[in-house]
Amino acid sequence: MLTSTKELLETAQKHSYAVGAFNLYNLEGVKAVVKAAEADKSPAIIQVLPHILEYGGSPLIALLLEAADSATVPMSVHLDHCEDRDIIKMALAAGVQSVLADGSKFSYQENLAFTREMTVLAHAQGATVEAEIGRISGTEDGMTVAEKEAKMTDPYQAKEFVEESGVDFLAVTIGNVHGKYHSEPRLDFGRLAKVRQQLQIPLVLHGASGLPALMIQQSIELGVSKFNVNTEVRQKYLQFWREYGRTNDQTDLLDCQKVATGAMQAVIAQKIRLFGSAGKAQHVAEENHDSI
Ligand code: 13P
């Protein structure tokens, strides 16, 4: 059931769990998220990066929206990390529920102006906006932000930014990275607690792949309501095809697709349970007077 990202995250925030936002590329990914969420009666977010959306075009957007809508649990579709006004406009016009208007590589003032403009645009269409303040390092689908370019979120600047932009959710940088953690992850929970003291809106943590359960739990306690997951699911998919191709002369592609979907579904199910959203689908519906 297509549900707004705002409803999903505000309900999660109120009841101290988080919703997983899973980056997807194709039908197998979509099915893996929907099946995992339905099996665990959990809300979930289907998330897509701008260059995947550009590649897939309107058929892909239609697939994502239809998959979310026909799911038996509340789901939304979210455009991840986008600094391109035209792609944001296209996604909103197509009906996505939320976007990450990512001005984090710009100066503070430019990021603020960009985020404010995209927020006005999204709100006019009943959609919501995530912003990023600070800058997350690491690699995501070929886009690399070097460690020296990364910037932690300043809690006071975050408060001013949210007030002035009118944004709905904020992605924080507290030591989280996109892609593989090359050493033990170290999150600055003191900083996260200060951000939470300054802000009431749902907070987002990117780079959830590879974070241990205790850190996930502590992040939720300090106000994180959305975790972004890409690497672990993507790697599972790639690993499946690599190994399958080497050891199997199976030629029925559909059978392969089903097994690949199942492999991703298992990773997603594990995350859903870790984030505490399993069993919360009914909960979202009740809070928002929908029936599922
Ligand atoms: P990971 O690839 O580290 O899971 O991060 C995903 C993410 O933050 C997408 O925005």
Cβ of 207 less than 6 Å from ligand 1 = yes
Q: What is the mean pLDDT of the chain?
A: 93
Q: 44 or 246: which carries more pLDDT confidence?
A: 44
Residue from 9, 28, 12 nearest 76 by CA:
9
- Pairing assessment for the beta strands 169-172 and 128-132 based on DSSP bridges: parallel
Which residue among 230, 274, 275 is best mutated to probe the pocket of ligand 1, counting the most ligand atoms within 8 A of its Cβ? 230
Express as a percent the part of the chain with pLDDT over 70: 94
116 lines ligand 1 (CB under 6 A): no
Vertex 54: Cα angle to 122 and 237 (nearest 5): 110
Instruction: Check: CB of residue 8 under 8 Å from CB of residue 289.
Output: no
Give the rounded percent of residues in the chain with a pLDDT score beyond 90.
80
Cα-to-centroid distance, 248 and ligand 1 (Å):
31
Domains parsed from the chain with CATH numbers: 5-231+268-287 (3.20.20.70)
What are residue 226's DSSP bridge partners? Answer: 19, 204
Question: Which of ligand 1's atoms lies nearest the C-alpha of 209?
Answer: 4
| pLDDT for res 177 | 87
Mean pLDDT of 202-207: 97
The mean pLDDT of 250-258, rounded to a whole number, is 85
The answer, yes or no, to whether any atom of ligand 1 lies below 6 A from the CB of 230, is yes
141 given a catalytic annotation:
no
Q: Which atom from ligand 1 is nearest to the alpha carbon of 177?
A: 3
Instruction: Round to whole Å and give the CA distance between 129 and 135.
Output: 17
In the chain, the largest separation of any two C-alpha atoms, in whole Å, equals 58
**pTM of the predicted structure, to 2 decimals:** 0.94
C-alpha distance across the termini of the chain, in Å: 8
Residue of 49, 231, 232, 271 best suited for mutating to test ligand 1, as the one with most atoms within 8 Å of CB: 231
Q: Is the distance from the beta carbon of residue 226 to the nearest atom of ligand 1 less than 6 Å?
A: no
CA atoms within 13 A of residue 272's CA, in its CB half-sphere: 27
DSSP H/E element including 207:
none
Among 10-19, 217-226, 243-252, 255-264, which stretch is predicted with the lowest mean pLDDT? 243-252
What is the predicted pLDDT for the residue at 140?
Answer: 67
Task: Give the residue-averaged pLDDT of 155-176.
Answer: 96
pLDDT at residue 146 in the model? 65
| pLDDT-derived band at 258, boundaries 50, 70, 90 | very high
At residue 172, the pLDDT reads: 95
Q: Is 132 a pocket residue for ligand 1 (Cβ < 6 Å)?
A: no
Cα 268 from Cα 233, distance rounded (Å)? 7
- 40, 69, 80, 249: which is the annotated catalytic residue? 80
Interval 15-38 mean pLDDT: 98
Contact 36, 72 (CB under 8 A): no
100-155: per-residue pLDDT in tens? 999 988 999 999 999 999 999 999 999 999 999 887 777 766 666 666 556 889 99
Is the CB of residue 208 below 6 angstroms from any atom belonging to ligand 1? Answer: yes
Question: Is residue 132 within 8 Å of residue 104, measured between CB atoms?
Answer: yes
pLDDT value, residue 151? 83
Coil, helix or strand at residue 129: strand
- Ligand 1 atom nearest the C-alpha of 176 is 3
Report which ligand 1 atom has the smallest distance to the Cα of 232.
4
Q: Is the CB of 178 under 6 A from ligand 1?
A: yes
Which secondary-structure segment (H or E) carries 159? helix 155-165
Can you give the pLDDT at residue 182?
Answer: 79
d(CA 170, CA 26): 27
16 Rama sector, left if φ>0, alpha if ψ -120 to 50, beta otherwise: left
